[in-house]
Chain A
Amino acid sequence: MTNIYIYDQELSGRRYQKLLERLETRLTDLGIGGKIYRLAPMTRLESALKDELAKKPKTIVAVGGDALISRLAGLIAGTRIPLGIIPIGSSMIADGFGITTENACKTLAARRIVSLDIGRVDGQHFFVCRAVITANNPSLILDGELTVEAEGKALIEAVNITGDEYGYLGAQPLADDGRLNAYILKTEKSLLRKDISQSAFICKQLEIVKGAIKVELDGASEIKGARSIEVVPGLLTVIVGKDRKF
C-alpha cells in the first residue's frame, strides 16, 4: 500500500517549486513519501484516480486548497481510505482540521484517523464544511416535517463542521454528530443601519422547495438547481491535527 499525493493544478508554477521541494524532502525523511499526481488544467481528477482507488492506497493526500480537498473528499467518501491534507494557501477545511502547511507532514506521519460526517447535495455532490445557498424568498422543509420561510434575499448555510470563529448562533456544528446546522442569514435594514439577523436550526436533511438561486460547496465549487442537502454520518475518513477546532 502506498501514499498518493494529488497536487493542485495551481502548484505547477515556479512560485511553489521551493515549497514543494521542501515538503517532499520532509515527507521522505518521515518515511511517508509516495506517488505524486500533478493535475493539469484539463485533467479529470476522477479518471486520474480511478485505478489508484481500486488498489486501495494507504492514504490519499490533497496538496492544495479547499476546491481540491472538497473534490477528493467526495471521491473517497465511503471507501475508508484516509484523506490527508497538505494545505497550500488559506483553507477553511484544513483550518477546521487543525492542519497548517507547517504541521501537515508531521500530522500525516502521526495518522490520527477519525471518521467524520460529510454533507451531500442531491445525492451526488459532497461538501466537507458547508454549503451556502443564495436564495430569494426561500422556502425549506427540515427533516420532512418543519416548513421554514424567509422574506426577501437570504443566505442559507448548511454547516457540517467549522471552527468557532464564524459567529454562528446556537449549537456548534460537530463533525461526528450525524446532524447539519442550518442557518438563515438575512440583512435587516432600518432607518440608520443594516443588521444581519440569524436563524439557527439543527436537522439531518433540508429540502429546498423554492427560492434557491445557486449553491456553493466549501467555497470552492458551485451548482445550480439543487433540491436536497443532507448529512451522511461517518462516511469520510480523515487524518486530523491535534489542534482541530471541533
Chain B
Amino acid sequence: MFNKNSVGKDGIETVIGPSVKLEGNFVCQGGIVIEGELKGSVKTAGYLEVGERANVTADVAAKEARVGGEVRGNIRIDGYLEVTSSAKLFGDIEAAFVSIARGAVVKGKCSILGEAKNTKNGTPKIKEETAVNSHD
C-alpha cells in the first residue's frame, strides 16, 4: 500500500554525522555512513562508509566498505574493501577483495577471503595471507 522502499539513496539507512558520538553495539541491515565517532562494534548487511574525519574504535563487519578515516579494531568485509589514502587502520583486515591507496596507514594482518560457498563446511577459505605494514 505504501512505498515500502524505506532505505535511502544508495541503500543508506544510518548516518553518524560529524561532532556526533555513538557508543554501543550497532547492528543494522542497511547502509551506514560514519562521519563522526563510534565506539563499540558495528555490523551491517549493507554498505559501510567511514569518512575522512571519522574516528571508529570498534570491530567492523559489512558487506562492502570504503574507509577513509581512522579505524581501531578488526575489519571483516564480505565483498570489496576500498581503503583510501587518508585512512588509518589499526587492526586485522579480512575481505574478499581489497584495494589500498598510496598514503594509507594499515597496521595489522590482511587476509583475503575465498569463496565461502565453495567450501564444504561453509567456513571461508583463506586464499592468501599477507602482513601489510604502514605505507607512510
- A: residues with CB less than 8 A from B are 114, 145-152, 169-172, 174-177, 184, 186, 188, 197-202, 244, 246
Contact = CB atoms under 8 A, between A and B. Distances in A.
B26 A146 contact: yes
Contacts of A200: 8, 13-15
Given A172-B6, A175-B2, A176-B2, A186 B14 contact: no
A147 B39 CA distance: 10
Nearest to B1: A114
Contact of B5 (A152, A172, A184): A172
Given A114-B1, A174-B6, A147 B19 contact: no
Contact of A148 (B1, B5, B12, B22): B22
A154 to B, nearest CB: 9
B18 to A, nearest CB: 5
Interface residues of B, number: 27
Contacts of B12: 169-171
A54 B1 CA distance: 31
B2 A147 contact: no
B20 A199 contact: yes
B17 A186 contact: yes
B20 A150 contact: yes
Contacts of B30: 170-171
A170 B14 contact: yes
A64 to B, nearest CB: 26
B19 A186 contact: yes
A97 B68 CA distance: 41
B5 A150 contact: no
B21 A149 contact: yes
A240 to B, nearest CB: 9
Given A199-B36, A246-B3, A169 B20 contact: no
| 8 A-B pairs with the lowest CB-CB distances in the bound complex, closest first | A199-B17, A146-B24, A197-B17, A200-B15, A170-B8, A147-B23, A149-B21, A171-B6
A188 B18 CA distance: 9
Contact of B21 (A148, A171, A172, A177): A148
Nearest to A139: B21
8 contacts: A145-B25, A147-B23, A169-B12, A170-B12, A171-B6, A172-B3, A186-B20, A244-B2
B126 interface: no
B132 interface: no
Contact of A171 (B7, B18, B23, B35): B7
B101 interface: no
